[in-house]
Each structure stands twice: as structure tokens, then as C-alpha cells.
Amino acid sequence: MKFAVVVFPGSNCDVDMFHAIQDELGEEAVFVPHSEYDLSSFDAILLPGGFSYGDYLRSGAIARFAPIMKAVQEAADEGKPVLGVCNGFQILLESGLLPGAMKQNRDVKFMCRNVKLRVENNKTMFTNQYESGESIVIPIAHGDGNYECDDTTWEEMIKNNQIVFRYDGHNPNGSKDDIAGIMNKRGNVLGMMPHPERAVDSLLGSKDGIRLFQSILILWRENHVVTS
Amino acid sequence: MYKIKVYVTLKQGVLDPQGKAVEKALHTMDYDQVQDVRVGKYMELIMEKSENVGSKVEEMCQRLLANPVIEDYRYEMEEVVGQ
């Protein structure tokens, strides 16, 4: 399976993402610069964390107009898995691929620590290797992770099981309904603030993140069985 | 030429963490009269004179300068002498 790791000016988790795919998952990863127009040769698209365009104006606000984002939109329309982590999540929100918006953390400071997450929906292409309601440990590292949306959007997401991860126990950033990760209605675009790519080896403190990437791979393999 | 002053703030009803922190600081400084603080952004645009400046500014606010999901914006336009 071939994964694109999109690199914006200011991305800084792109190498971690590449490592998670290439070395831990054992699949092919390719860095694709923000100035490219085509992602058609890839099976999945990863938008890594960082501070694209210095977080100027709002996190993700400028990156959403990068040439590559048209190709990300096309990949999403085709039903390919699109995962945005941290700044990648913020870019997905700004581009309208996911509903809602991100505000500054409740305590107005950058937070970098391990947090507990609850897997709220394990019937997705991103979470099928987790148990429903399972508690996992994944690190966060963000200043703007305070998720916000209007109540109509929120009710709609609950109805469609679009809330994939919630903070378990302590809510670190004040996000609405303890939301840590959401997906689109179709279920192929996931945005999350915590960093699964930083939790792929027990040397890093947790390997709970690797199953997210395995979920994508396992489902993809099931759908691409050679039947000759 | 036009000088456009754009003001962006979080919507009423959307909790403003930075505004709350400033409000608390003002209270500790004994400014008890302060009821609410909203922190926002201020931008200045210099634009060429054209007929549809207003609608262009509106469009730019909607698409980039503000995020209508959580932010309100307003702007003022004034005519200035170009260089």
C-alpha cells in the first residue's frame, strides 16, 4: 500500500509519519510537497502535524489554499483514506473536509504530553483494530486543539457516529464534548489532535498508535484481494 | 486607493480563552468593573480603487480573513491618496 505524506512549509511531524509507515507498518511512504497537484497514484493520504505557514492568521488557514489541497479533496471524493493529525486536522477543518473549527486551548498554552483516549467508534477504516470503548495512550502536542462546532453539527455527528475519539478522563484543551478526533459522514476522512505516529514503538512510551495505521492497511487489503 | 480596516473576533457565545485570561488578569488588578473581554485581530488592507471593492472585501473575509464557523468580522473602508 502506498501512502502520501504531504509536506507543507512548517510541517514538522512528516518524518515521524514517514517512519511509522515505512519502518513500523512496513508499507511504502512518499513525501509529497505542498506544491504538487496530483495524488492519484496513492492509496492513502496523510496530513502530518506541525505549524504550516507558521500558523499565521489561524492554524491551517493558509495551507488549505496550497495546490496539493485540490488533490487531497479529489482523493477524499474518491473514498480514499485521508488522515489529518494535529495541524493536519486543523487544515481539514479549514478546508471544509471536516465540520467545525479549532480554537486556542482553554488554558491558553501549548500542551505536550501523553493523554488517554477512548475509542468511541471502532467500525471505521481507521479504528477496526481497536476494541469499542478501549482506552489507549497517545501523545498530544498542540496549542490550538479546542474543538468547536455549533449544536446542529454536533448532533448530526453523534447521529452518524462521526466522533471517533474522545479524551478519556481529563480533557486537556477544553474541546467540545471531549472531542479528540472526528471523521466525515462517509467515513474516509479522519482528523485527530493526538499523534498516533508518535506512539508506534514501546520505546516511545506507547505503541497504541500503530493499530490505527494497521486498520487502514487491513481494510485496504481486504478490498484489494487478488482474485485471479 | 482604499484603506480597509478589518476586525475579527470570536462570535458571541463562543468562549474566548485568551479574552477570559485577560479578563481574569484585569480583575486581579482590581478593575472590577470589567464585565467581559474579547481578544481579536486587526488587519489593514490597501486596495486599488474599483467598483466592487466592498464585495471583494466581503468575499476575502468569508474565504480567508475570518473563519465564519467561530468568528465574526466587520470592516471599515476609507479612501486614501495612493503613492
pLDDT of A4-54, one tens digit each?
Answer: 999 999 999 999 999 999 999 999 999 999 999 999 999 999 999 999 999
Which is the catalytic residue, given A86, A94, A142, A149? A86
- List the beta strands (DSSP E) in A68-129: 82-85, 101-103, 111-119
Hey, are the CB atoms on A103 and B21 less than 8 Å from each other? Answer: no
d(CA A154, CA A27): 35
Give tens-digit pLDDT for A152-201.
999 999 999 999 999 999 999 999 999 999 999 999 999 999 999 999 99
- The tally of domains found in chain B comes to 1
Q: How far is CA B23 from CA A25, A63, A116, in A?
A: 48, 32, 31
Please state the rounded mean pLDDT for residues A91-114. Answer: 96
Per-residue pLDDT at A225 exceeds 80: no
Residues of chain B neighbouring A108 (CB-CB closer than 8 A): 17-18, 21
Cβ-contact A47, A75 below 8 angstroms: no
Residues of chain A neighbouring B67 (CB-CB closer than 8 A): 58, 61, 94, 101
Cβ-contact A216, A187 below 8 angstroms: no
Kindly report the CATH number assigned to the domain that includes residue B47. 3.30.1280.10
pLDDT-derived band at A227, boundaries 50, 70, 90 = low
pLDDT of residue B81: 85
Q: Which domain holds residue B68?
A: 2-79
Q: Which domain holds residue A164?
A: 2-223
Find which of A90, A98, A104 to mutate to test the B interface (most B CBs within 10 Å of its CB): A104
Residues of chain A neighbouring B39 (CB-CB closer than 8 A): none
Q: Is A86 a catalytic residue?
A: yes
Which of these, A104, A68, A85, lies nearest to A182 by C-alpha position? A85
Q: Is A60 left (phi over 0), alpha (psi -120 to 50) or beta?
A: left
pLDDT under 70: residue ranges of chain B: 82-83
In a domain, A136, yes or no: yes
d(CA A134, CA A117): 8
pLDDT of residue B82: 67
Hey, are the CB atoms on A108 and B64 less than 8 Å from each other? Answer: no
Kindly report the CATH number assigned to the domain that includes residue A127. 3.40.50.880
- The tally of domains found in chain A comes to 1
d(CA A166, CA A153): 17
Write down the ipTM of this complex.
0.87
Buried b (16+ CB within 10 A) or exposed e, A53-90: bebebbbbbbbbebebbebbbebbeeebbbbbbbbbbb
Q: How many residues are there in chain A?
A: 228
In a domain, A228, yes or no: no
Find which of B67, B72, B73 to mutate to test the A interface (most A CBs within 10 Å of its CB): B67
Give tens-digit pLDDT for A110-142.
999 999 999 999 999 999 999 999 999 999 999
